Amino acid sequence: MPSIKDVAELAGVGVGTVSRVINNHPTVKLETREKVNAAIKQLNYIPNEVARNFKMQKSTMVALLLPSIWHPFFSELAYYIEDELDREGYKLMLCNSGGRPDKELYYFDMLNQNKVAGIIGITYNDIEDSVSTDIPIISIDRHFGKKITCVTSDNYNGGRIALRELVNAGTKKAAYLATYSNAYSEVELRKKGFIDEAEAQGIKYMIYEELDTVFDDDRYFENFFQRKEHQDVDGIFANTDLLAAKYIDKAKQYGLRVPEDVKVIGYDGIQDNKLFHPILSTIRQPVEKMARTSVKLLIRKIEGETLDQEIFRIPVVYREGETT
């Protein structure tokens, strides 16, 4: 019994093209259509309806891997990714990987089996060895090897802008606050931008970061406030909004007022209304643009295009709140 693959081979086209011909897809060239139809006739190929349905389903499903949808940054991102996929006729499969490599690998396996057309993922595991080259995967924030395209906010400039705005608000000594995971991520560049701008401006600064699995919040901030070099810090750049909000909460317990004693800038822009306080001054991630760009690039990869760029960095803006 001839398969769709046999037809594709005989016609000298991809399986996707045969599928499009069978389904009367309008974009197939007349010449290609004739070649495929000739192959179908020669092999006496009968398109199996279930197989056809499956093929159609395969080509319209994109998996989104996130640590957790229950986080305002990720849910906003997922919102726009679904919206853009919908415009393009694709469906979204959602996976909270929760940092579990086995769950992520399961979806990579689905991709290899053609059960999903592509993957958009925020992953912090070392999955590079598990993925083959030139596959339709877009990574957000995490920069892998050359073959996995990465979409990210302009973290480096975000760090520079944050330092500059702290100085504008009167900061004399700035601290960079972060937790980090073992996997290298573009997020690291927030620190680099912060340092480079501090050096360029001749501003005093300190770096405080801890592995995210080692400390709880209380210990994290206790250690920070006990450091000698912390004493004259009057400006904070926290590498996420959530960390900025936690700092502000803890600082109160140490008798520090924000923004009177310390200016604070976060990163993300997770607050989508002005009803809850403090409204954070923050480097706003261009979430909508990152989402739509990721989908557009993924579809180009699904369609077999080789992208000329490895990392796509989307500009960020500073949004002033009540904490500077």
Q: Which residues bind a copy of itself (CB under 8 A)?
A: 1, 3-4, 46, 48, 50-51, 53-55, 57, 61, 64, 68-72, 74-76, 78-79, 82-83, 86, 91-96, 103, 113, 115, 242, 245-246, 248-249, 271-278
| DSSP letters for 95-132 | EE-TT-HHHHHHHHHHHHTTSSSEEEE---S--GGGS-
Q: In whole angstroms, how close is the CB of 295 to a copy of itself at the nearest point?
A: 14
Nearest-approach distance from CB 29 to a copy of itself, in angstroms: 25
Nearer to a copy of itself, 172 or 277 (CB): 277
Question: Which residue reads 């502000």 in tokens?
Answer: 248
**C-beta of 115: minimal distance to a copy of itself in Å?**
6
- Determine the Cα–Cα distance for residues 195 and 237; give it in Å rounded to an integer: 11
Per-residue DSSP letter, 187: G
Shorter beta-carbon distance to a copy of itself: residue 128 or 322: 322
Of the pair 129, 272, the CB lying nearest a copy of itself is at 272
Calpha distance 284→270 (Å, rounded)? 8
- State whether residue 246 is helix, strand or coil: helix
Pick between residue 69 and residue 307 the one whose CB is nearest to a copy of itself.
69
Comparing CB distances to a copy of itself, the nearer of 216 and 272 is 272
For 208, the 3-state DSSP assignment is strand
Residue 69 beta carbon to a copy of itself: minimum distance, rounded to whole angstroms: 5
CB of 112 to a copy of itself, least distance (A): 12
Residue 97 CB neighbours (<10 A): 22
In the chain, the amino acid numbered 142 is: R
> Greatest CA span in the chain, whole angstroms?
83
Write the secondary structure of 150-164 as one string of H (helix), E (strand) and C (coil).
EEEECHHHHHHHHHH
CB of 263 to a copy of itself, least distance (A): 18
Which one-letter amino acid corresponds to residue 191? K
Closer of 193 and 259 to a copy of itself (Cβ) = 259
Q: And the tokens for 85?
A: 């996929």
- To the nearest whole angstrom, how small is the minimum distance from the Cβ of residue 275 to a copy of itself? 4
State which residue, 53 or 201, has the beta carbon closest to a copy of itself. Answer: 53
DSSP string, 41-71: HHHT----HHHHHHHHHHTTEEEEEES-SSS
